[in-house]
Amino acid sequence: MKKSTGIRFGVGVASVALLLTACGGGSGSSATGGTKGGTLTFLTEAEQILHLDPQRNYTGEDLAFASGYLNRTLTQYTLSKDNNEASKLIADAATDTGTASADGKSWSFTIKDGIKWEDGKAVTCDDFKYGVSRTFATDIITDGPTYAISMLDIAKNADGASVYPGPYKATAAQQAAYDKAVTCDGNKITFNLAKPSTDFNYTVTLSAFAPVRKDADTGEKYDDHPLSNGPYKIESYVKKDKLILVRNDQWDAATDSFRPAYPDKIVYTFSQPASVITERLMADSGADASALSPDPVDSAKLAVVFKDAKYEKRRFNEFDPYVRYYAINTKKVPNVKHRMAILAAANREELRKIAGGIYAGDFADEGWL
C-alpha cells in the first residue's frame, strides 16, 4: 500500500508559512509575509530528534530542521510555493554555488566572511574540512550519508573501505591522504574527486558537508549539543522531554539571505501521544495556535479533520516515497505456499481501515503477492 504523507496537520495558514520560511526560503514567495517574534512549537510522538550531529543527520524532516535553524552548508535549496522558484540551488555559506574544474574532478567554494559560531569565533575553511572528515569515522559517526567516502579521491583498502579512518584514529600518512583530497587556501575549500561529478555542488547541500570545529567536537556526544552557526542555538535538550532553541546572537542576517529566522524561540516537545497532538492542533488555542507537528494525524480523527471545512486550509495529504507492508515470520510459517495463501486471503480494505482508511494511502500496483 502506498503510504500517504499526509495526513499531516498544520495550525493555520500563518503557522504553516512560518515553518516554511523558518526552515529556509530567502527567495520566492515563501520568504514573504512573516512576522518576527513569538514561539514556534513542534509536537511529536518521537522521544528525540534522531540526530542533530550534522554528519549523522540523514532524515528529511531532521535535515530541514537542523539546516534551517542550527547549521549552514556551502549551498542550499530554495523553498517556495512557486514551482518555478522551488528547489533552486543557491549559495549558503559559500559566496556562490561553486566552481568545477574543466575535467569535473575538483570543486572549489569560497566561504563568506562574517559567519560565526555561537561563541563568536569565525567559521573557517578548516572547520568545513574537519566536519567532512568526520564522515569517515564510521565506527563513531554513524547513520549519516557516505558521499564523501565514495566521491573523494582517497585510496581504498582491499575490502573497498577508505584508507582514511577519520580524524580520531588516523595516522599521519592516513591524514595526509585526506588532506590531499580536501584542501584549504584561505577561505577557499577544494574537493578533489575520484571521478568527475557535474552536480557535486548539490551534494554539499547535505549537512554531512557542514562545518564542525575541531576543538568543540565531542565525538558521539556531539549529537546532543552541536555548536551552532545558524540563526538559533540550543538552550537545552532533554530527550523524551524538550529541545529548546533560542536566537544565536552571533548569527548575522547580512551573510544569510536564506533563513528569515522569524520565531524568537523554538520548542520541540517530545513523547506526546498521537491523540493528544491532534486534539491540541484541532483546538488551536493558546500556545497551540502557533504549534505544528511532523507526525500524522491520529487515525481516529482523520475523518473529522478531512471532512470538516474549517480545517481545509490547515491540512494536507500528499504521497511520500514510502510503502507500508506486512511481513510474515518465515520461521513460524516456513512454507512459501502457505505465506502466499495468507496474503491472498488477507482483507486489504480492512488492513487499510486499521491504518486510517482512504487517507492512509492507496494500494500499491504490484507486489501484494
pLDDT along the chain (369 residues), means of 10: 47 27 30 79 96 96 95 93 87 98 98 98 98 98 97 95 97 98 98 98 98 98 98 98 98 95 97 95 90 88 88 81 82 95 90 79 63
Q: Which of 255, 279, 294 is the last residue of a domain?
A: 255
Distance CA 234, CA 218 (A): 16
In this structure, are 93 and 202 located in the same domain?
Answer: yes
Residue 33's pLDDT is: 60
Last residue of a domain, one of 211, 228, 255: 255
Residue 190 DSSP code = E
Q: Note whether 272 and 44 are within 8 A (CB).
A: yes
CATH of the domain at 20: 3.40.190.10
**Quick one: pLDDT at residue 96?**
98
Extract the C-alpha cell encoding 174.
Answer: 592516513
Answer for the pair 290, 154: CB distance below 8 angstroms, yes or no.
no
Quick one: pLDDT at residue 365? 61
Residue 168 shares a structural domain with residue 73: yes
Are both 138 and 250 inside the same structural domain?
yes
Which grid coordinates are listed for 284?
488551536
Residues 86 and 172 in one domain: yes
**pLDDT for the residue 4:** 52
In angstroms, rounded to a whole number, what is the distance separating the alpha carbons of residues 210 and 287? 33
Model pLDDT, residue 302: 85
**Gap between the Cα atoms of 98 and 200, Å rounded:** 9
Q: Would you say the C-alpha torsion 115, 118, 120, 122 has a positive or negative sign?
A: negative
> What's the burial of 260, exposed, middle or buried (CB within 10 Å: 0-12/13-18/19+)?
buried
162 beta partners: 156
Domain range for residue 338? 323-360
Together in a domain, 231 and 329 = no
Domain termination site, one of 232, 255, 278: 255
Q: Determine the straight-line distance between the first and last CA of the chain, rounded to whole angstroms.
A: 12
Residue at 74 is within a domain = yes
Indicate whether 78 belongs to any domain.
Answer: yes
Residues 331 and 193 in one domain: no
Q: Do residue 184 and residue 331 come from a single domain?
A: no
Whether residues 136 and 235 fall in one domain: yes
The residue among 122, 121, 131, 113 whose CA lies nearest residue 188 is 113
| One domain for residues 328 and 220 | no
Q: Which three cell numbers stand for residue 234?
A: 540550543
**What's the confidence (pLDDT) of residue 358?**
79
Number of H helices, E strands in the chain: 10, 15
Whether residues 149 and 226 fall in one domain: yes
Domain count, the chain: 2
Cβ proximity of 360 and 7 under 8 Å: yes
- Which residues make Cβ contacts (< 8 Å) with residue 180, sequence separation at least 6? 153, 192
* Whether the Cβ atoms of residue 20 and residue 30 lie closer than 8 Å to each other: yes
| Residue 163 zone, left/alpha/beta (φ > 0; ψ -120 to 50; rest) | alpha
Q: Is residue 262 part of a domain?
A: no
Please check whether residue 301 lies inside any domain of the structure. Answer: no
Mark whether 72 and 175 lie in a shared domain: yes
- Is 272 a domain residue? no
Same-domain check for residues 230 and 354: no
* Residue 290 placed within a domain: no
Give the Cα separation of 216 and 146 in Å (integer).
22
Instruction: Give a yes or no: residue 313 inside a domain.
Output: no
pLDDT confidence of residue 12:
32
238 part of a folded domain:
yes
Q: What pLDDT is recorded for position 87? A: 86
